Amino acid sequence: MCGRGCTKFFNIVLSLTGLGLSIYTFYVETKAKSDEEYSPLCDIDSYISCSKVFKTKFAKGFGMVGDLVGEEHPLNQPNCVYGIIFYLIFLLLSFINRRFIATFQVLLSLGACGVSLYLGYLLYFVIQAACVVCIASYAVNLLLLLFSFCKRRALAPQPLKADKYGYYIPTTHMPTNNNFKKFI
């Protein structure tokens, strides 16, 4: 069963992990633009290379925003900037235990998983490279979705129990059958 404290903890940890991955990606992208000799830690070989992925047109605006609004438009930012914004919003929402916030987190996570599927497709079939940081962020997005479902489920309203005559009897978490006596 999903508990509120457990899901809150994991949502916070996963949001911080995603935020760290996005900040590292931003650092690698800016450092690679300023220094041609820079080789990030995530460049392992010619196939497993973050910098190879970050230099493609798909690393900025998901490869679509520049085509829609122009390359110099303020909305055409590197994908990591969108990731930083997403994980900051998710982190802030993780501290609030309300059902509608949990529903909003599930919807945000579904959107992030959809973007992850799109970028994973591009990574494997179009760019034909592997990015350790990208794959880690896809895993974080999937886990955020799972824990968001758990949070929403844990915040579900508890049904009232009716006796055989149709009256609702307040109950406690005690296993005895004489719970109604405590409320008289």
Is residue 29's pLDDT more than 80? Answer: yes
Q: Which of 4, 112, 8, 128 lies closest to 58, judged by CA?
A: 128
The structure tokens listed for 182 are 């405590």
Can you say whether the dihedral through the CA atoms of 161, 163, 167, 170 is positive or negative? negative
Rounded distance between C-alpha atoms, residue 179 and residue 172, angstroms: 6
> What's the whole-number average pLDDT of the chain?
85
pLDDT at 149: 92
Rounded distance between C-alpha atoms, residue 46 and residue 52, angstroms: 8
Instruction: Find the CATH number of the domain harbouring 133.
Output: 1.20.1440.130
Number of structural domains in the chain: 1
Rounded distance between C-alpha atoms, residue 132 and residue 116, angstroms: 13
Percent of the chain clearing pLDDT 90 (strictly above): 45
Instruction: Judge if pTM exceeds 0.95.
Output: no
3-state secondary structure string across 146-178: HHHHHHHHHCCCCCCCECCCCCECCCCCCCCCC
Q: Which of 107, 111, 55, 57 lies closest to 82, judged by CA?
A: 111
User: 């798909």: which residue's tokens?
Assistant: 58
Domain range enclosing 139: 4-183
Q: Are 87 and 15 within 8 A, CB to CB?
A: yes
What does the pLDDT look like over 76-93, one tens digit per residue?
899 999 999 999 999 999
